[in-house]
Amino acid sequence: MNAKECIRGRRSIRKFKDQPVDHALLSEIVETASYAPSWKHTQIARYIAVEGELKDKIGAECTSAYPRNGEIIAQAPMLIAVTFIKGRSGFERDGSFSTSKGADWQVFDAGIATQTFCLAACDKGLGSVIMGIFDEAKAASLLNLPEDRILAALVPVGYPDEEPAAPRRKPVEDLLSFQS
């Protein structure tokens, strides 16, 4: 699969087969995802693979704002908690900001890393869906995140048990403008 095929073919998968994700395969995916670009090569993204009772507990206790997310997590074999080390991306060594975006740049880097992870998973035959609606504080507590980490997204992962069609895309004319 080439990059264009992977980008165009990846879909948000919400139904998974009852087949575990091999830990060695996940390590390979994370190794590929580690090549995602980041602010001054800070590489702030960290991934926590969650299975079993803890995965189910996060799905049950952290998704009341959108219960469908809990259902998706419950039937996925694995949940990836994408976290990042705060206070590095977008900052100088003295703690000042390098950009007018301030601390917001770290979320940008986490987003790049999350999408890169999902594309790498797709390339290896795994499906995923990036979730942003969940009780972040409760999930971070259940994951025992250290003080220097922020939970960016939850990503259920597994072998797809569905093949969603590509949603309609906006025409390039709506997305691209030229100025001189």
Q: What is the pTM of this model?
A: 0.94
What is the per-residue pLDDT for 138? 98
What is the per-residue pLDDT for 58? 98
What is the per-residue pLDDT for 87? 86
> What's the full length of the chain, in residues?
180
Question: Distance between CA atoms of 168 and 97, rounded to whole angstroms?
Answer: 39
Per DSSP, 90 falls in state T
Q: What is the mean pLDDT of residues 113-118?
A: 98
Provide, rounded to the nearest whole percent, the portion of the chain with pLDDT above 70: 100
Residues 109, 113, 116, 122: is their CA dihedral positive or negative?
A: negative
In order of 37, 108, 131, 161, the CA distances from 41 in angstroms are: 7, 13, 25, 36
Q: Which residue has the higher pLDDT, 1 or 7?
A: 7
pLDDT digits (tens, 9 = 90+) for 23-71: 999 999 999 999 999 988 899 999 999 999 999 999 999 999 999 999 9
What is the per-residue pLDDT for 98? 83
What is the per-residue pLDDT for 1? 81
Question: Distance between CA atoms of 176 and 168, rounded to whole angstroms?
Answer: 17
Beta strands 149-158; 45-50: pairing state: unpaired
